[in-house]
Structure 1
Amino acid sequence: MSAEIRRITQTSFMFLLFLIHLQVSAQHYSEIKTNIPLDSIRLSDPYILADKTSKMYYMTGTGGKLWKSKDLKLWEGPFTIVETDPNSWMGKRPMIWAAEIHQYKGKYYYFATFTNRDVIIDTVKGNKIERRASHILVSDAPDGPYKPMEDETYLPADKPTLDGTFWVDRDDKPYMIYCYEWLQNWNGTVEKIQLKPDLSGSIGEGELLFKSSESPWSKERTEDGEIKPNKVTDGPFLFETQTGKLGMLWTSWVFGDYVQGVAYSESGTLDGPWIQEKEPITPPNFGHGMMFKTFEGKLLMALHSHRVGPNGNYIRIPNLLEVDDREDKIYVYLKN
């Protein structure tokens, strides 16, 4: 091949790459939608940060994308905000579940569950368990980009953990509260682990807060027809009522229905003991909730509704419910 032909071929190849880049950029740009009503968004595990600095609501959840809104009614997105390290335990394209954004000491922290489907850590009762763990990324802005910090792992590599959330306890120390997934222990738990002051890693080992089997409201039926507490723990979220009562939202199942319950700490700290409410606080097929205050001071719960679509896939839609927290227990106002 002559030098002239080689130069033309290289030029043509570079031009082709440029066209592909333009096409990909245009596709990425076209994915951003505006003026989207909340009930038109399909999103599991919604988490909403009301950012006072920008006067903007930021919503994320499973899938790792971000939506923005000024009024909670019309939304813009989805934006890509996460930059993981392909050489880390997460792999090149980790699944992202139950993402949350927390503002703490001048920075924004992205708590999420990452799954590397190419790595199997255990096999229990015939089920292969993928490498999955709660992890934290950091950014200087609420809309990212969120990047890894100092520690490669926060929780043991041989245990599947998920749905990590954030709480600063009365000892003024930061903690991650997370679920140890039932797939390995067959009795899911909610646990805590202390974090470094800048949240860049964890300190010590996880400590048990409560087990799924302690719930009086979650239920499942065994193969022989026996009814027992459901084994799933999902979506913890910590809050304090106006009276200072420490509570925790968490979700499980009542047979085939995804339902949210609540527990309260007798000591007012993460150490509990945690007393489970006897009944769920949401209707069937509403769950994985969190609470936030609007810029006008109204307390709302964000959670997703959950139903099976015609093709058998779950359809999950973000919902907002008003909450009263003036007493030692919260009360949720259900939609008519």
Structure 2
Amino acid sequence: MRFIFLSLNLLLFITSLLIPQDAPEDYKIAVSEIYLSDPFIFADETDSTYYMYGSGGNGTVMCYASKDLKYWSDRFIVYRFRESHWAGPKAPSWAAEVHKYKGRYYLFTTSDDGKPMGKNIRGEDYPRRATQIYVADSPRGPFRDFTDNKPHTPEGWPCLDGTLWIEHGKPYLVFCHEWTQIMDGTIDAVKLPKNLGVPVKKSFVLFKASEAPYVKESPPDPKKEYVTDGCFLFRTKTGRLGMLWSSWKEGKYVLMAAYSESGRLRGPWKQDRELLFEENGGHGMLFTTFDGKLMLSMHYVDPGDARPRRKPIFIEADDSGDRLVLKKEGLIIK
């Protein structure tokens, strides 16, 4: 019995050496060890915890939790696709994000049933893909369907990366209409009911992917794909309405911003000529830390990795002027 007790203590001691000593007791996974696309941070003030959602698959939406953005919990399930779900019980989940609205938590995520809906101008199939919203009483879930198994993006369109924007108290879904159908992808918006149910209004286009500042073709090539990804809206401290979005430039994933010239969601929108990040990083969003720092969360690919894969990175940003900038000497967590 004494031998078992000593062995157990030795095992606990060795384990403690393997875990970084500044890691919180329940948050032992360094952010550098996490591989994740489209990392979205929900900073929940009710429990001073950061929740990180992203893209995954196999019929679940997963989440990590952290107290300091450096060390994270194991993943846990916040939503499980039902057998009867329109995308199936093993559906993928892309670009999951959570917003608090009228005291409840709403999960936005994109799914795909793998079945073609039609063909584009190049004769290629485009998939049935849509964003749907789910509700819960906690950012930890469990989230549930409240729209009778109906997605929120327009029927017949392949759509993804839906996000929430509130303008004058009215909720809108902002989303990407994929290039897979229309070639020149767009970012669109549609007014939501007050309960965030399925829209009854028609959507409207905000801008096209070919408006990216680096696109040289004019008019755009009708058979070339122009990608819209990862829309996220914000206001600068001066009140200017902006949007983060991503696309591809010469084979690299990039992050950029557009700004509404009217200050309203309907625009017109003008692209910032200077990209925010152009070295294989993007799908960004903004959040504020519990000590008041504005941070950009996005995924990036470190070319120095032995097996380069998408990882989360958090970069301090500055929105005090008329445009968002990344702080040159600011905090970076990766």
Q: TM-score, normalised by structure 2?
A: 0.83
SS at structure 1 position matched to 2:128: strand
Q: Does 1:58 align with 2:46?
A: no
- Which residue is equivalent to 1:108? 105
Q: Does 1:68 align with 2:65?
A: yes
Partner AA of 1:254 in structure 2: K
SS at structure 2 position matched to 1:239: strand
- Which residue is equivalent to 2:78? 81
Partner AA of 2:258 in structure 1: A
Change (3 A) 1:310 1:324: closer
Q: Does 1:253 align with 2:248?
A: yes
Partner AA of 1:123 in structure 2: K
Shift of 1:198: 1.2
Mapping of residues 9-88 of structure 1, within 5 Å = 34-63=27-56, 64-88=61-85
Change (3 A) 1:114 1:281: same
Q: Does 1:94 align with 2:91?
A: yes
Q: Does 1:215 align with 2:215?
A: no
Tell me, which stretches of 5 or more residues in structure 1 are unaligned? 1-32, 221-225
Partner AA of 1:56 in structure 2: T
Distance in 2, matches of 1:314 and 1:87, equals: 36
Distance in 2, matches of 1:243 and 1:38, equals: 33
Partner AA of 2:166 in structure 1: V
Shift of 1:160: 0.1
Shift of 1:49: 0.5
Shift of 1:120: 1.7
* Contact 2:252-2:278 within 8 A present in 1 as well: no
Distance in 2, matches of 1:166 and 1:100, equals: 9
Q: Does 1:123 align with 2:119?
A: yes
* Contact 1:85-1:148 within 8 A present in 2 as well: no
Distance in 1, matches of 2:234 and 2:183, equals: 27
Distance in 2, matches of 1:218 and 1:285, equals: 17
Higher strand fraction (1 or 2): 1
Listed one character per residue, the Cα deviations across residues 114-155 of structure 1 (whole Å, up to 9, x for unaligned) are 1111x2211222422221101101100010011111251322
Which of 126, 129, 132 is equivalent to 1:132? 129
Distance in 2, matches of 1:135 and 1:266, equals: 29
Shift of 1:314: 6.0
SS at structure 2 position matched to 1:213: helix
Q: Does 1:323 align with 2:317?
A: yes
Tell me, which stretches of 5 or more residues in structure 2 are unaligned? 1-25
- Which residue is equivalent to 1:11? none
- Which residue is equivalent to 1:154? 152
Shift of 1:230: 6.2
Which of 288, 291, 294 is equivalent to 1:296? 291
Change (3 A) 1:310 1:52: closer
Aligned-residue sequence identity (percent) comes to 42
SS at structure 2 position matched to 1:82: strand
SS at structure 2 position matched to 1:77: coil
Listed one character per residue, the Cα deviations across residues 287-321 of structure 1 (whole Å, up to 9, x for unaligned) are 0000000011100000010257999x861000000
Which of 167, 170, 173 is equivalent to 1:169? 167
Count of residues paired in the alignment? 295
Distance in 1, matches of 2:272 and 2:64, equals: 33
* Contact 1:129-1:183 within 8 A present in 2 as well: yes
Q: Does 1:279 align with 2:283?
A: no
Distance in 2, matches of 1:307 and 1:203, equals: 43
- Which residue is equivalent to 2:16? none
Distance in 1, matches of 2:305 and 2:276, equals: 28
Distance in 2, matches of 1:39 and 1:108, equals: 28
Question: CA RMSD of the aligned region, Å?
Answer: 2.3
Change (3 A) 1:95 1:219: farther
